[in-house]
Structure 1
């Protein structure tokens, strides 16, 4: 059984914006009775392992705007390791649940029009393409019109170092939100945004001039918020 480690605060700017870019591969194995009694990020409650499909759904929905969660579609790997639809939905959002076979926590919410682009990335990743190869292939497909990203489409990422949650609120211990606003082919000159972060929580443009150009807004660090 994997030893649960207490959370560490994330600080500074996190520049990775793809929800599937978690590079850790340790498989999480928890029993139903495992809890943590220490306070994580000031929550002061016992946190449980995310060890059921219901918990995967509940925590994934924290990436979506609160008023939209009930009608969101949730997809992702279930506890059996199968990529499935975990919850049906009929609004504009698709939520990608945390992968229980990877350490840490990362769930994402995005507009349903982004699903072809996201799905293409998952397919290419599954056949062993590297991050750079995926970038190059999707850029070519964007230029040819095979793929499309509507400018202004937003990705909400709920992430943290732990995969432990409060079963009453569904909040993940120490998790934070960051936002990606896609603006294909945009540059610093066309938007007036800097090419690098100026300070925590300030918008900047990442991957300028490419199909994956986007405004990145990362959270304030815990130290900054005090």
Structure 2
């Protein structure tokens, strides 16, 4: 009888141990997974640095340009001292405008050199204290008179985002993305066949139709936008 009782007790202990092991196993596995995820996140964060030198401004601004053209682009913009300067000379068809370190977020642009008179005129008017509406009206009049010109099809590449940390190995800014502006002065929805609002992510549409600043917009949009 004692042998039977002893066997039953021993069996109960084994069942209890096995049940305990099964309960602990998922917890241990989950802990390992969480640790691996945290480690990966920390590695990514270690790769990022603040844009705090002129060299950083140049490197990140060039991400707005086509990859094959970056090495020869001219770079202009505000340096870390707050001066608007030529940050790097170039000898191809592109001019790159660096992010303004005194403004929130990140915004760099790349455009064909033929657009520089139009862009420079806008900068000069804003420096005079003109409002956005005033800048628009002045350049509209100057385009109509022939004082300013925009070659239809001239493209502006904009690299932008809410954050200002970047990976110095790749020059990519955290969370930044590209949108494109194709200038088509005086174009309309009727003349181009494009809608005046985007219908899907990266769907081209026409903005400022019928004006000197009419342009085709191609912007990344949230896939779930209604």
Which band: TM-score by shorter chain? 0.7 to 0.9
Alignment partner, residue 186 of structure 2: 185
Q: CA deviation at 1:46?
A: 2.9
SS of aligned partner of 2:109: strand
Higher helix share: 2
Matched, 1:146 2:147: yes
Matched, 1:202 2:196: no
TM-score by length of 1: 0.79
Q: CA deviation at 1:199?
A: 1.6
Alignment partner, residue 60 of structure 1: 61
Matched, 1:97 2:98: yes
CA distance in 2, matches of 1:184, 1:73: 25
Q: CA deviation at 1:197?
A: 1.2
Matches within 5 A, 1:51-200: 51-200=52-201
8 Å CA contact 1:38–1:45 kept in 2: the answer is no
Q: Which runs of 5+ in 2 are unaligned?
A: 1-38
SS of aligned partner of 2:108: strand
Q: Across the two proteins, how many residue pairs are aligned to each other?
A: 186
Q: CA deviation at 1:141?
A: 0.3
| Runs of 4+ displaced beyond 6 Å | none
CA-based RMSD: 1.9
CA distance in 2, matches of 1:86, 1:199: 37
Q: CA deviation at 1:220?
A: 4.1
Q: CA deviation at 1:44?
A: 5.8
SS of aligned partner of 2:200: coil
Q: CA deviation at 1:39?
A: 5.1
Which is higher, the Rg of structure 1 or of structure 2?
A: 2
8 Å CA contact 1:163–1:172 kept in 2: the answer is yes
SS of aligned partner of 1:57: helix
Q: CA deviation at 1:210?
A: 0.1
Alignment partner, residue 6 of structure 1: none
8 Å CA contact 1:63–1:177 kept in 2: the answer is yes
The Cα offsets for residues 133-183 of structure 1, whole Å up to 9 and x where unpaired, read as 000000000000000000000000000001110011100000000000000
Alignment partner, residue 26 of structure 1: none
Matches within 5 A, 1:6-85: 46-85=47-86
TM-score by length of 2: 0.79
Q: CA deviation at 1:47?
A: 1.3
CA distance in 2, matches of 1:38, 1:46: 11
CA distance in 2, matches of 1:70, 1:116: 23
Structure 1 148/39 Cα, relative in aligned 2: closer, same or farther at 3 Å?
farther
CA distance in 1, matches of 2:132, 2:41: 36
Q: Which runs of 5+ in 1 are unaligned?
A: 1-36
